[in-house]
Structure 1
Amino acid sequence: MAGIRERKKQRTRRALIEAALRLFAEKGYEETTLAEIAAEADVSTRTFFSYFASKEDVIFHDMESRMERTAALVRSRAPDEPLPDLLTRIARDALAHAAGDENYAVEEMPLRIRLMMTVPALQARALHLLYTSQLRLARALHESYRGRLSPVEAAAAVGAFAGAAKLAVMASVERGESMDQALDAALVATEITLRGLRSLG
């Protein structure tokens, strides 16, 4: 029975995300109300608040789960796995997850990126999440490679690696390319960066 309830919750959550993004695309982010999102998903406004605290949370709905997935990869690394190999594995896993997870919905990413780049409140939230997620990953890498990777080296590796991937995706989307092309660009960007990071061992 718990499984059925969980699947129903996931369907409702997905319906809210799809409804919100549909309305953001049609009406604009600022012009869309929470009540309209709830009505579009055929639920009450109270139900919306059971899943999300705000419209911003809908845009960033997968950030925490993606970070947890990355942290799990760091924790599960082999003791002798070099840092560039681990980062390559993280990049490939993230891209494969983005392309294959039905809850991630790659087709929604261009809209989400455009909103993050143009809506001031979302720009601020995106920057905050970018810095906090990178700091979390840097701390996790430093802990995982304790005695071999200093905090500064871990921070530099994460900044270069994540920054290259994110900027490549944003530049690709800005050029009007497909998400498949954007994900390919991210992979190329990380491979370029990782060649430089091999100096860290």
Structure 2
Amino acid sequence: MPTTMGRRERKKAQTRQALSEAALRLFSEHGYDGVTVAQIADEADVSIATLFAHVPDGKEALIFDDGSERRIWLTAAVHDRPPGQSVLEALRRSMAARGPFTDDLPPELRHKRDLIVNTPALREYSRKLWIACEEALAEAIATESGRDPSDMTIRALARYVLEIPELAGTEPDPLAALNAIFDLLEHGWPESPGKT
């Protein structure tokens, strides 16, 4: 039986949406560093206290969700992959269709993506959200490979994958960089020619 949001939850979601839209609009017009929390609160017609009640992490968090959506699609990529597809290939394909790795985004999402990629504070906050998915991704990889999620190699693999957006996202060709990193993870470091 589906649950519907109550009045309080709807009001919170509307306020959060208004704050997010105000922040994105102001960041676009004045640059991230040119906007204060007070200006965002004023633009959204809420108090500063209300802004921090909805977004305690500050202005960096205003244009992001809480990271739960990211965890869901990462673990779904692992668990719901087609038969015969490796975990790494499933993660590669899923990541390649998102964020800085695709141009197949509606204009408003492309604009938001570009703002994040070009703003160090927003990129760092995004990285924080990626890394927060490490435990869930490690558990998914462990389940699919029949290994213990506390195994250091499983945790390391999850962390390496979650660092890809930060490492590759600002490269001149982010998708090529993503593919190069996944190739390295899948096939290992190639031995230099002439070395034994």
TM interval, shorter chain, is 0.5 to 0.7
Tell whether 2:192 aligns with 1:188. no
Identity of aligned residues (%): 30
Mapped contact 1:67–1:133 kept (Cα < 8 A): yes
Tell whether 2:78 aligns with 1:90. no
Mapped contact 1:166–1:186 kept (Cα < 8 A): no
Q: Which stretch of structure 1 is more off in the superposition, 81-90 or 158-167?
A: 158-167
For 1:195, give the aligned amino acid.
D
The alignment of Structure 1 onto Structure 2 pairs a total of residues equal to 182
Tell whether 2:157 aligns with 1:151. no
- What residue number does 2:194 align with? none
Q: If you compute each CA radius of gyration, which structure gives the higher value, 1 or 2?
A: 2
For 1:191, give the aligned amino acid.
N
- What residue number does 1:40 align with? 43
Tell whether 2:53 aligns with 1:65. no
Task: Please give the residue correspondences for 1:1-201 in structure 2 after superposition, counting only pairs within 5 Å.
Answer: 12-27=15-30, 29=32, 32-45=35-48, 47-49=50-52, 51-53=54-56, 54-61=58-65, 63-78=67-82, 80-95=84-99, 99-100=104-105, 105-115=109-119, 117=120, 119=121, 125-126=125-126, 128-147=128-147, 151-172=151-172, 185-199=173-187
Residue 65 of structure 1: how far off its partner (Å): 1.8
- Counterpart CA distance in 1 for 2:41 and 2:103 is 26
Residue 108 of structure 1: how far off its partner (Å): 1.7
The alignment's TM-score, normalised by the length of structure 1, stands at 0.63
Q: Structure 2 vs 1, CA of residues 158 and 24 (structure 1 numbering), >3 Å: closer, same or farther?
A: same
Q: Structure 2 vs 1, CA of residues 87 and 149 (structure 1 numbering), >3 Å: closer, same or farther?
A: farther
The structure with more helix, counted as a fraction of residues = 1
Q: Secondary structure at the match of 2:171?
A: helix
Q: Secondary structure at the match of 2:26?
A: helix
The alignment's TM-score, normalised by the length of structure 2, stands at 0.64
Q: Structure 2 vs 1, CA of residues 30 and 190 (structure 1 numbering), >3 Å: closer, same or farther?
A: closer
Gaps of 5+ in 2: 189-196
Residue 13 of structure 1: how far off its partner (Å): 3.1
- Counterpart CA distance in 2 for 1:3 and 1:101 is 27
